[in-house]
Structure 1
């Protein structure tokens, strides 16, 4: 490995075409910045309107942006991923960051919340993955990385619906990894604990933010999973807990 590769920790990201769902959120932007700084070509996909390029961090404005995409709709997901494939001249990796969180106890909650969490956390990843596969399978080192959560393994107070949906993301990751393990595409999931985002600071103002996981730290792990060094890793569910 050359000195540049040793400094960055990974090789094989430069020139890769990467689609990021949930691309306009804190983790999506941080991951795009990490990848673009290392020579990847990135397209951001989001449900909301795409932000102005000058509102994004340096370098991220170079990414292709596609807003108004409802990934709970399989047809919309196919249209979006086909468009990204055209814009980037191919597709090497899909990062399924799109998702949502609701805090709600079982006793006082509503079954609709469970449906909503499945729609926003599982179906978005399922639809985007199915839409990306025809493009990823044309290459020899395709990558899918999903964002799960520790609550998918053990739910805490108020996280039943969310945890159940993230358990679904974990099972989707494992099942798809098995399907693709002889086809040159790896599928893994990253399981962050509490991330240090503006929204989480607003929701938990008295917390010790230094214990949380910074988005750029999660981005670095995602970047490794896209690299040549990670070719032997598939079906993994990788916790990123910080000091939580």
Structure 2
């Protein structure tokens, strides 16, 4: 069999780049998509596409179409596309809630919707959604964000129940604070050694894509480093 093909959304971000690098080194062929143009300097067979707005279902369907055009197969999807906002509820607005829903839930729903029929037909496929530890317990200022990531986890559970009979696996990772330049800048007094390294989370995602996780369905796996949740 040829090396598996995985679509990675949100691939221009720090975590997206880490996941792409890890999967590329593991031999996966990749379709990397984002609103911004994802960089790719790896040796693996990869296609990078920018200007993709996954809040639009037609964009998600076009991503799936492009993957078939370039590679002739799709074996997995990693839904990284999303966003974060910290906003106490007394200062919040419905616009914030709508934005978090669109960025975190709608993007995931649209990509899953676009690929599931094919996965069901081929009786195989793995989807890994990126939720958040806040889906388990929200902190101050995280109402809209945590609610949207909780919806991602509930979606993961529902899709797993609906699709495991077709040989399709759907799981989620629930990271705490990622060690990124932006988080270091916004929390200069924190110890980033307590946080989750993007490369570490990428390894968990690769595990969930692999046959080693063939018996895992509907899991939300906390990846929290030394952060207390």
Q: Same fold (TM over 0.5)?
A: yes
Partner of 1:220: 203
Q: Deviations over 1:125-183 (max 9, x none)?
A: 00011111133234343000000011112111100000000010011000100110100
Could you say what the CA RMSD is over the residues aligned between the two structures, in angstroms? 1.5
- Measure the CA separation in 2 of the matches of 1:213 and 1:148: 14
- Measure the CA separation in 2 of the matches of 1:68 and 1:109: 29
Partner of 2:20: 32
Does residue 150 (structure 1) correspond to residue 136 (structure 2)? The answer is: no
Q: How many residues align?
A: 227
TM-score of the superposition, structure 1-length normalised?
A: 0.89
Partner of 1:17: 5
**Cα 1:195–1:68, aligned 2, differ >3 Å: closer, same or farther?**
same
- Measure the CA separation in 1 of the matches of 2:75 and 2:49: 18
Q: Residue 239 of structure 1: SS of its match in structure 2?
A: strand
- The gaps in structure 1 that reach 5 residues or longer are 1-11
Does residue 172 (structure 1) correspond to residue 155 (structure 2)? The answer is: yes
Displacement of 1:35 in angstroms is 1.0
Displacement of 1:218 in angstroms is 0.5
Contact 2:37–2:48 under 8 Å retained in 1? no
Equivalent position to 1:82, from 51, 65, 68: 65
Contact 1:42–1:64 under 8 Å retained in 2? yes
TM-score of the superposition, structure 2-length normalised?
A: 0.95
Equivalent position to 1:133, from 77, 96, 116: 116
Contact 1:102–1:159 under 8 Å retained in 2? yes
- The gaps in structure 2 that reach 5 residues or longer are none
Displacement of 1:229 in angstroms is 1.3
Displacement of 1:79 in angstroms is 1.1
Partner of 2:182: 199
Q: Residue 222 of structure 1: SS of its match in structure 2?
A: helix
Equivalent position to 2:29, from 15, 32, 41: 41
Contact 1:85–1:135 under 8 Å retained in 2? no
